[in-house]
Structure formats: C-alpha cells, structure tokens
A and B are shown apart, each in its own frame.
Chain A
Amino acid sequence: MPGWRVKLLPWALIAPTAVFALAMTVLPLVYSVLTSLQEFPLGRAPVFVGLQNYQNLLHDANFGRSLATTLIFTIVATAVEFVLGLALALLLKEEFAFQGIIRSSLIIPMVIAPVVVGIIWRLLYNADVGLFSFAVQALTGRSFSVLSSTTMALPALIVVDIWEWTPFMFLILLAGIQSLPLEPFEAARVDGASPWNIFVHLTLPMLKPVIVVALLIRALDAFTVFDQVFVLTQGGPGTATEVATLMIYKTAFRFSQFGYGASMAIALLALVLSFSAAVTRAFKGSV
C-alpha cells in the first residue's frame, strides 16, 4: 500500500463518525447560538440583535428565579439519591437469597418513562383521591393538597425524582463496590478495623472516582428535568416549581420568542458546563 494511503487510512476511518458527531452535536449548538442572537418578529424575516437577548436575560428576574429553583432541585435530589443509593448498594452488595428479584424490582422506577412517572405521582398527590391527601386527612382531619402548596410542591417533585433515580445511583455504586479489590478490606479486618472505619477510610476513598461520575451524571440530568414538572405542576403553584427547562420551553414554543428562548438555553448550558468543570476540577486525580 502506498505511503499516502497508509497516512490517509486512519482519517478515512474516523471521518464518518466525525461527520456524524459534527452534524448531531456541534451544528445544532452553533445554530442555537446564532438563533440566540436574533429576534423573530411576526411575519417578517429574523432580525440580528447581537447580544440584546443576553442583556435582557441579565435583568429577567423570572429566569433568575427559575435557575435558583433548578439549582435547589438538582442539589437536593442528587444528594439524597446518592445517600440512599449508597446505602442500598452497601446493604445489597453481599450474596443473599432472592437477590436477583430484589435488585431487579429496585430498578423498576428507573425504566418507567418519566411522563408515566409524572402521571403515577399526580394520582398519588391528588387532593381528592390521592394517597398522601388521604393519609394527611386520616391523621389530622384536615384536607391537604401537596401540589397546591407553594412550600410543598418543590419537595414533592424532588421526592418523585428521588423515587425514580435512586436506583440509578444504586446500580452504579453497587458495580463500583463490587469491583473494589478484596485484599485491603481483608487486611483491615485482620488489623481489627471497625466496619465504620473500613467504610470511611477504605470504601469511600477507593470508590471516589465512581462516586464523582455517578454524581456528575445525575446532576447533569437533574439540571434538565422537564417531564415530571410538566405533567405534575406546569411550574406552579405560582412559580414555585418553574425550573429553567420549562421556562425555556414556554418562551420558545408557547410564546414564540425563539431568540430569547435560545439565549436561555445557552445560558443554562453554560451553567451546566461550569458546574461540571468545577466538580471535575475539585476531584482532579480521582476521575
């Protein structure tokens, strides 16, 4: 084979993948950035407005509030899912009877479509016939509507996310725990280390790379939560559960402010990337 063909072969082999990746990720992103620099007046051609949409964004209190709601949702949901997932993984890491059935049933919430999850929980939270309202009424004698409460609606959404995604944390952390070498643990036990010391000084440090990846994946996903909010609360009551993705959706598709909606999406993307970079930097060397 001539020398130039040998040199070209690797490029030729990766070209289809590179073109595909470019078409599916980079081009839409570039298009979104261009869209965010335009306005779309009714019945007229788009107008280039430079950074005007981003300037407006800086003064948009509603968008700021939706970002704060998203941040609270992400931090609380991811943290609780991590703690519960880790506890479950530690509990179920050993061999035991019916472990296949138990582990399989634990991951059921994760495989249900998010919209269906939303519908299931909408019924559970229903003020008239829902399980929670029934329990509160039985205990206190007063009717209570979870999703109509400005203080309870966001926690209620977080509970749904925890129910759905704790199994994901559990699966990743269980795989991580089972892949740890046995020798250090045996040596620690021989040396008389307590289970708590083993967990704090061996399991957690050795599991750190897996934990970081799991937290990162879940946090990035939680940042873009949409389906459950859309089905359960539509961002209400008031603006209590209006997360950033819902606001972007409404701005772009309901209000037809495509440019402004795109600028919101780019801002959210920048926030997510910064968050991901900060986490990666904080755990540099572990990942």
Chain B
Amino acid sequence: MIRRQFLKKSLGAMTAATAAYSLSGCGTKQDSSRRNQITFGSYADPALDILKEVILPEFEHATGIRTEWVEADFSGWFQKALNDGQTKAGAFDIYVMDDLWVPRFAGAGYLANLDELGFQTDQDFVPSALDLGYWPPKTGLRQPGIDRKARSVLYSLPLISDCQLFFYRNDIYKNGAPSSWDDVLQMARQHSDPSRRQYGWVTRGVKGNPIMNSFFVLLHDFGGDIFGENWKVVFNSPQAVDALEFYLNLLRYAPPGVAEFDSDQEGATLLQGNAFAATIWTGWCPQTDDPTKSRVVGKINFDVPPKKVNRVAKLGLFMAGIAASAPHKTEALEFLKWFSSPSSQLRFARAGGTPFRTSAFKDEEARKKSRWLDAILRALTLGVPSPRTSDWSKVEDILGTELNKALLERGNAKKHLDAGAAEATGFLKSAGYPVG
C-alpha cells in the first residue's frame, strides 16, 4: 500500500468511527431526554452538604430527574454565574446565590420569572426569607431606574435559611443568653484571660464584606442604619458612631490579629474554646456539637443577638434561582416545587438542614436533631438583609475598608465613618442615586 492510499483509508476509518460514536451519543441523549438532567452551579459551603448528600438523591429517586452539582469557591462561582448570565450560555439550570446577588442577577435579567413559570407560594414560607427572592424589593428603597410602582416579581427561592446568631458559651454565661450588649461587654471584661488564650469576644476584621457583616448587627442594634430616605448615607449617624465605638471596646477582649480574621478563623477560635461569644452565621451551628471539630461540645448555645435600642439579626440566605438561559427550565422548576413542598422541607429539617417553612422549623423531631432551629426562626423574624441594590458590594467595600482602618487604629470611629460616608455618597451620586 502506498502512503497516499494508507492515509486515505485511515482517514476514512476515523471518519466512520467518529460518525458512529456521534450517532450512538445522539441515541443515548434521546433515551434520557424524557427526564433531563439539571445542573446546579454553586459556591462550596458545608451548609450545603445535607442538600447535596441527602436531598438531591431523594429528588432523583422521586422524580427520575438526574442532578449535577458544579461548585467553585465563592468569588469563582460568582464570576462563573455572572458570565453564564451575561452570555446566556445555558451552562447551568439553577444558580445557587448569596441573597445579596439577587438584585444584580434579577435586575440584569439573568433569572427566570418564577411567577410566570407558575410557582406558587403560601403562608407557611417564612416571610422574611421569601421576600429576599423578589425583585424589585417588596418593601424599602428602590434602586434608581426602577419604577417605584413596578410589581415585585419572584425570581428566586430560599435554599438554606442562614442568618447570624449570637453564639455564647453556656458555662460562662451561666444565667443564659445576655439580654443586652452591655452584658456581653461586662462578661468579656470579667472573664477574658489572654494568658490562657481565653477571649470574651471574637469577630471578623478583614476589610470589606467580613468586617461589614460583623458590624452590621451592632449598627442596627444601636439604632443606626446604612441608608436613610432617598438613599442618603446615614452610617455615620451618632448611633452608628456609638455602635462602632462599642465594637472597638469589645475588641479589647478579642484575640490578637483579629483584623485578619475571616469567618474560618472566627469559627475556629470559638470551636477551640478560646472565645466565649460571637455573632456567627448559622452554618457553623452543627460543628459546635461535632466532637471531631469542636472542643466545646454542648457548651455553646444560640440566640438572637442581644439588644441595645433594637434587636435584629443579619440575614444572609442561600437562594436558588432558575437561570434565564437554563436549558431545562421545566425540570429545574420541578426541583424548586419539590424542595419547597412541606414534606421535603420536613425531611430536610429532620436530616439536619435549615428549612424555610415555618412548619418544618417547628417540627419536634427536627428541633431535637438541630437544637438551634428555634433561635434561627426567631432570628429570621427579626432579620434585616443587606440593602437591596446591585451596588451594595461597592458601598460595603467602602465602609468595610474604613471599619478595618478604625479597627487597626482602635479608635477614630467618627473620622472613619465620616470618610466612608463621603466616599459612598460620591459613588452613589455618580451612579445616579438621588442621595438625600
């Protein structure tokens, strides 16, 4: 056989093999298209483990719809989801989102309208959790460019009801949860002992979102807020200055290097028994009772953060929305309906998950399994979310940087809040907000 003939025959054989493989692939696809696979995109978080390991297999078994779970770190997934939404690539059917992404994703048209798809809500959904899935927001300020009279539409559903609880050591707080922040400061003053690495308070001090989340509860508890009427920046009000000064006072009883603490170091300090109070996301609750992760099993209790002027908790729910470009919307909707049904929510809660139906929160068996459910339900009812604007990340970064500076200087609360307010006001004006 001469070389040319050999090449021709090889090429022919390869083409035939490729065609056969492709055709067999088509056949397979046709068989499985009766029940398509849905692809979830998500950030990695231990709070999602029960959903992935217990609930999704149940869903597959019940409906015959296969599921695929694609995850990345928080920032990585945010970028991927944003790209998918912008390019309408259709790589994902369901986006798992932080609730503060909802304004951006819904506002930009990356999410399917669940009302139009026929999703029905009912009175059993925890109202504050469900409200986070609407755009424009049902209550409060509306971003410029959005009609004040526009109807709020449901774009996403809660997936995990996460919020910040007050974690405290019951062997130190012997009379139960503190009723006020002054009690927390007093206990910290009395019981802190840095020589034994015992600290009365631990917090996240990293600039931006981490420290902002830590300060948010205090700000609102002290009667402050982020925005006033017409988006006027008010986080430098006298109440806010008091809140920051109190936060800086508490820091005297925090571990060294707290300015570089994020959620992982904060939680680890508590679980190692080195701190006896903190406001932490509920995703950490199960670990407190896990002997492989905690040295203080059974010694940590949970409550809504204490009161100064108000008593609030910071909401930070995991949300699920169907991508506008999802290739399998019907199946994705079926998942949301199935997962939000009373029976699935009950099973989810009994497996150790944090549901979003009041009935599941109140189930005795679920409460026995997760002793923090009662505190979470109370926190949800008092919950305050991040401001509902797609520009929140920028404002959060500005304020979070100034808070970090105040933390490093252990003072100058007013100076830094004023600086943050001036910069945030400038930004909001340039972005078209009426600001005042």
A contact residues vs B (CB 8 Å cutoff): 41-44, 56, 126-128, 133, 143-145, 147-150, 233-239, 250, 253-257
Contacts and interface: CB of A to CB of B under 8 A. Distances in A.
A126 to B, nearest CB: 7
Contact of A42 (B145, B259, B393): B145
Nearest to B389: A42
Given A127-B260, A145-B260, A233-B260, 16 more contacts: A41-B145, A42-B104, A42-B143, A42-B390, A128-B255, A144-B256, A145-B256, A148-B260, A148-B408, A236-B401, A237-B207, A238-B408, A255-B391, A255-B393, A255-B397, A256-B82
Contacts of A235: 207
Contact of B404 (A144, A238, A257): A238
A127 B258 CA distance: 8
A237 B405 contact: yes
Contact of B145 (A44, A133, A234): A44
A239 to B, nearest CB: 6
Contacts of A250: 397
A256 B81 CA distance: 13
A234 B74 CA distance: 14
A256 B104 contact: yes
Contacts of A257: 394
B390 A234 contact: no
Q: What's the dominant secondary structure at chain B's contact region?
A: helix
Interface string B368-391: 000000000000000000000011
B390 A256 contact: yes
Instruction: Give the interface size bracket for B toward A.
Output: 20 to 34
Contacts of B108: 42-43
B397 A237 contact: no
A97 B109 CA distance: 66
B208 interface: yes
7 contacts: A42-B104, A128-B255, A148-B408, A150-B408, A238-B404, A250-B397, A253-B78
B424 interface: no
Contacts of A234: 206-208
Q: Which of B79, B260, B430 has the most CB of A within 10 A?
A: B260
Contact of A238 (B75, B107, B207, B391): B207
A133 B257 CA distance: 10
A272 to B, nearest CB: 23
A126 B257 contact: yes
A249 to B, nearest CB: 9
A147 B262 CA distance: 13
Contact of B408 (A41, A237, A254, A255): A237
A119 to B, nearest CB: 12
Contacts of A236: 206-208, 259-260, 401, 404
Contact of B257 (A148, A150, A254): A148
A127 B265 CA distance: 11
B77 to A, nearest CB: 12
Nearest to B395: A255
Contacts of B259: 145, 147-148, 236-237
